[in-house]
A and B are shown apart, each in its own frame.
Chain A
Amino acid sequence: MTAVSTASNTQVRIATIGSVDDGKSTLIGRLLHDSKGIFEDQLNAVSKASRRYGDGTFNLALLTDGLRAEREQGITIDVAYRYFATPNRSFVLADTPGHAQFTRNMVTGASVSDIAIVLVDARHGVVEQTRRHVSIAALLGVSHLVLAVNKMDLVDWNESVFDTVVTDVAAIVSTLGSSVPIHPIPICATDGENVVDAGDKTPWYEGPSVLELLETLDITPVATIDARLAVQWTLREHGGSDYRGYAGRLEGGAIRVGDQVVVHPQGHTSTVVGLTRAGTAVDIAVPGDAIAIELSDDLDVGKGNVIVVDGAQQPVDATGLIADVCWFTDTELTVGDAIIVRHASGEVSARVAAITHRLDLETLENTPTDRLVLNDIGRIELALASPLVVDEYSVNRAGGSAIAIDPVTNATIGALMIRSGY
C-alpha cells in the first residue's frame, strides 16, 4: 500500500504455482513485505506464530497459511488470496497449494489469473508436481508464465543450474503446444534477491526482478470474437413499465445500441435498443462489463440463453462436448457415468460418452485410458440431456469453461475446458 491508487490503476490477477516446499508462500510474504503490503499487526502476528510453529526465525509463509491445520503442518491446503498495490497496479494474488492432493485448489486459483508465477526449487529442478502445474497453467491459458527459480543461494547462484530449469520448463510448454511466454528469474525468496529489487548475486542475470515484471507485463485482453452475453437474470420493473433487461457479463467484444443480435439456442434475431452498465444507461459496453440489454422484440429470453452480436463467429448450441478435464475427486470417472455440467448458459445432466486419453506427466504424452483418477488431466466426450451454448475455450474462456458436479453429493468434481461442441 505504497500509494493511493488512482482511477487509471489496473488490477492484475496472479497465481503462484509449483511443488510443495518450493517457496511459494515465502515469495508472496517477501513481495508483500518489501512492497509494504503488510500491516504492523499482521507482522506481529507472524513473529508470534513463527515462535510457535517454526524454529523461531521469522517465517514469511505464515502470512498466507491462514488455517490452523496449515500452520501446524507447515503446508498450504487451500488458496489464500492476498492484496498489494504499487502506484500503477493493484494485485490480487492467489497462493495455491503445492501438494498433489490439493490440485483442485490450484486450478481454482490459476483459472482466473492473468499471470502465473511458477516456483522451482533450484536444488531439485523440475519435479512431477512442477510438470502438473505448468501443464495446467498452459491448458488454462494464462497470459504469462513467470518462472522463479528459487533457493538459488543453496546452489551457489550457479547459472547452469538455472539454465537447466529454464530449458526443462520451456520443453513442457512447447510439448503441450502452448505459446505462453516464459519469463525466467533466478531468486532467493527468503532474503529477497531479485524479488522486488535487483540483487547483486547474479551478475549473469540482467533481467527485471519479479515485481518489476508484474508491474510491466501486458495483460490487455485480445478481442477475438463478437460480443456475447450469457443471460443470468431478467430485470423487470414493477408497475406499468414494460422494461425487460437481460442481465449478464459481456464477453468477447463490444456491443452497442443498434447492434443486430442472435439469441441462442432458439436462433431468433433482434436489435439492441437499450444498454445499462452497472445500472446506468450507456450506448456501448466492452468485455468484462456487467450489463443489461433491452431488445426490440418481445422474445422469451432468460437464464440459458446467450445473446450474440450477429456475425461470423456464433457459438454452438451443443448437445455433445469434447473437453479437457482436470479431475478433482477420489471417485474415478468412467464411461457411462452421470454428472451435472454447470456452464454460463445453464446446468444440465450429462453422460460420459467416451474417455479419450489422459496426460502422462512423466512423458507429457497423451495415453489411452478408460478412466480418470484424482488429479488426472484428460480428454472426455459428454452427451448432454439438453443443449448448452458453448464456445471453444481457446477463443472465449467464459463460454468455453464449465464445472462437473456430482449429482449425488453436489460436490464440484472437475473443471472442463471445452475443445468443441456439436
Chain B
Amino acid sequence: MSAVTSQNELEILASRSHLDRLEAEAITIIREVVSGCESPVLLFSGGKDSAVLLWLAIKAFAPARLPFPVMQVDTGHNFPEVIDYRDEFVRTYGLELIVASVQESIDRGDIPDPGPTGSRNRQQAVTLLTAIRTNKFDAAFGGGRRDEDKARAKERILSFRDKKGGWEPRLQRPEPWNILNPRIVKGEHLRAFPISNWTELDIWEYIAREEIPLPTIYFSHERTVIERDGMLLSVGGPVVIEDGEVARKEIVRYRTVGDMSCTGAVRSTATSYEDVLAEVAAARITERGATRADDNFSESAMEDRKREGYF
C-alpha cells in the first residue's frame, strides 16, 4: 500500500477519541511489561480502577488467556459486596486469584495489630511486600492514577522499588517516549501503572462505554451510616458506633473502595453508569479528598506511604 493516507484512514484516525488513545497506551504498557518481566502479577482490589486495569489486561491478550495471576491484598475490612464481585469476575474470566491477607501478617507478628476498629490501609504495604517476595513476583500492575494525589502525579509508569520495597522519588528512571526500563536485580521489583494518565472522569466514561461490571456499592443504595470526621461511614464490621454518634439510614454510594473503617460514602441517587458519570463530571471535590480519611492526615501522606512500599 502507499504511504499516502487515504480519506478512509483519516476518518478513522479522527474518530479515535481520548479514551481510545488511553486504552491503546495502557494495553501497550501491559504487553511491554509482560514481555520484559519474568513473573508479573496484577493487583486487583475490586475497586473501579483495578476493574478497568483488569479489563484492559484481558483485552491486551485476548483471545489468549491472561498470562499472569491477579492478587488481592485483603485487609479483612472488606465490603462483602466487593468480595462477591471479585469472585464472580475471577470465575467469569477464568483467572488465577491469589489473596494476600493482612490478618495473617498481624497473626505472624509482621505488623502491629491496629485493633479491631483501626484502619488497616497503611499496614497493607507490609502484606503486599511479603506476598511479592514469597511468590517471587518481579512486577506488580497497579491501578494508580496520577490525578489521584500529588505524589502519584510524580510517579513514573514503571516505578522501581528497592530491595526493601521502597520508592525513591529522586532516583526515578526517565521514560522518554514511554520506553520502559524493566531491568532489575534479584530482590528488587517494579510497579507498573498502565492507567497513570487516566482521570476519574476517563475511568467512568470508559466503564460506561465498555459496560464493565462493578461492585454494587458504586451505585446508589440505602445504608446505615454514622457521620465521623465529616465522612459517612458504614456501620458494621470495624465501624462501631461511639458515644454521641447517631446511626441513620441514608441513600449513598461509594466513590472508592477501600478499608471499610476509613472509606466514606457520599449521598447520591446515581443508579446507572450515566448517572454516576454526570455526578463525577459535576464534582467539586476529588475522590480521595472526599472519601479517604487516610490521605487527609498530612500533605505528604501518600508520598510517605509510597516510600514504605504502598501501592
Interface residues of A (CB under 8 A from B): 1, 3-5, 7-11, 39-42, 45, 48-49, 63-69, 71, 77-83, 85, 90, 92, 104-105, 107-108, 111-112, 220-221, 223-227, 232-233, 235-238, 241, 243, 245, 247-249, 252-254, 256, 259, 276, 278-280, 284, 286-290, 303, 309, 311-313, 326, 328, 340, 342-344, 397-398, 401-403, 405, 410-412, 415
Contacts and interface: CB of A to CB of B under 8 A. Distances in A.
Given A290-B60, A415-B176, A67 B169 contact: yes
Given A68-B303, A108-B175, A398-B177, A286 B64 contact: no
Given A4-B278, A45-B299, A290-B27, A11 B22 contact: yes
Nearest to B63: A237
B290 A41 contact: yes
B179 A402 contact: yes
Contact of B197 (A4, A92, A279, A412): A92
B277 A284 contact: no
A223 B13 CA distance: 11
Contact of A411 (B65, B153, B173, B185): B173
A6 to B, nearest CB: 8
Interface in B6-39: 6, 8-9, 12-24, 27-28, 31-32, 34-35
Nearest to A95: B153
Contact of A83 (B14, B147, B151, B205): B147
Given A226-B3, A237-B64, A253-B5, A4 B286 contact: no
Nearest to B196: A81
Contacts of A397: 177
12 contacts: A69-B169, A85-B199, A111-B177, A112-B176, A235-B61, A247-B61, A254-B6, A288-B20, A290-B31, A410-B184, A411-B173, A412-B174
Contact of B60 (A66, A227, A247): A247
Contacts of A254: 1, 5-6, 9, 12
B16 A288 contact: yes
B60 A42 contact: no
Contact of B23 (A278, A342, A401, A403): A278
A39 B201 contact: no
A248 B174 contact: no
Contacts of A326: 176
A305 B28 CA distance: 16
B220 to A, nearest CB: 19
A67 B303 contact: yes
Contact of A249 (B18, B24, B196): B24
A278 B277 CA distance: 23
Contact of B199 (A3, A83, A220, A411): A83
Interface in B166-200: 169-170, 172-179, 181, 183-185, 196-197, 199
Given A66-B153, A67-B154, A290-B60, A259 B1 contact: yes
B153 A81 contact: yes
Given A107-B174, A238-B65, A290 B24 contact: yes
Given A68-B303, A232-B32, A290-B27, A224 B63 contact: no
A284 B12 contact: yes
A373 B21 CA distance: 36
Contacts of B202: 90
A403 B181 contact: yes
B186 to A, nearest CB: 12
B188 to A, nearest CB: 9
Pick the 3 closest A-B CB pairs, nearest first. A66-B150, A41-B289, A279-B62
Given A69-B170, A235-B62, 18 more contacts: A65-B150, A66-B154, A67-B169, A68-B303, A83-B197, A90-B199, A108-B176, A223-B3, A223-B4, A241-B63, A248-B28, A254-B1, A254-B12, A279-B60, A286-B16, A311-B3, A412-B173, A415-B174
Contacts of B31: 232-233, 247-248, 290
B12 A278 contact: no
B300 interface: yes
A259 B9 CA distance: 15
Contact of A42 (B177, B178, B289): B289
B205 A5 contact: yes
A253 B3 CA distance: 7
Given A278-B59, A279-B60, A4 B201 contact: yes
Nearest to A10: B18
B201 A235 contact: no
Given A68-B303, A410-B183, A80 B153 contact: yes
Contacts of A403: 174, 176, 179, 181
A17 B307 CA distance: 28
Nearest to A404: B181
B134 interface: no
Interface in B120-159: 146-147, 149-154, 156
Contacts of B196: 81
B181 A284 contact: no
B24 A108 contact: no
Contacts of B108: none
A81 B152 CA distance: 9
Taking each of B3, B34, B65, which has the highest tally of chain A beta carbons within 10 Å of its own beta carbon? B3
Taking each of A105, A290, A344, A397, which has the highest tally of chain B beta carbons within 10 Å of its own beta carbon? A290
Contacts of B3: 223-226, 252-253, 311-313
B292 to A, nearest CB: 11
A58 B8 CA distance: 50
B28 A279 contact: no
Contacts of B4: 223
B2 interface: yes
Given A1-B201, A107-B176, A82 B181 contact: no
Contacts of B34: 233
A337 to B, nearest CB: 17
A66 B303 contact: yes
A104 B277 CA distance: 38
Nearest to B62: A279
Contacts of B201: 1, 4-5, 85
B18 A287 contact: no
